[in-house]
Amino acid sequence: MEGEVRVAVLAAGQLVGLSPETGELLWTEPIEGDQNVATPVWCSEKLLCVTASPSGSVGLRLSKADGKTRVEKVWKNDTLQIGQTTVVRAGDYFLRLHRE
**How confident is the prediction along the chain (100 residues), in pLDDT tens digits per residue?**
556 768 888 887 888 999 899 999 999 988 877 767 777 877 766 676 766 667 788 888 888 889 888 889 888 888 766 666 566 667 776 666 555 5
Quick check: 80 and 94 in contact, CB under 8 A? no
Please tell me the predicted confidence (pLDDT) of residue 23.
92
Q: Which of 81, 28, 83, 42 shows the shortest CA–CA distance to 11?
A: 28
The pTM score is 0.72
From the DSSP assignment, how many helices (H) and strands (E) are in the chain? 0, 9
**Which amino acid makes up residue 98?**
H
pLDDT per residue as tens digits for the range 87-100? 666 777 666 655 55
User: How many Cα neighbours within 13 Å face the side chain of 89?
Assistant: 13
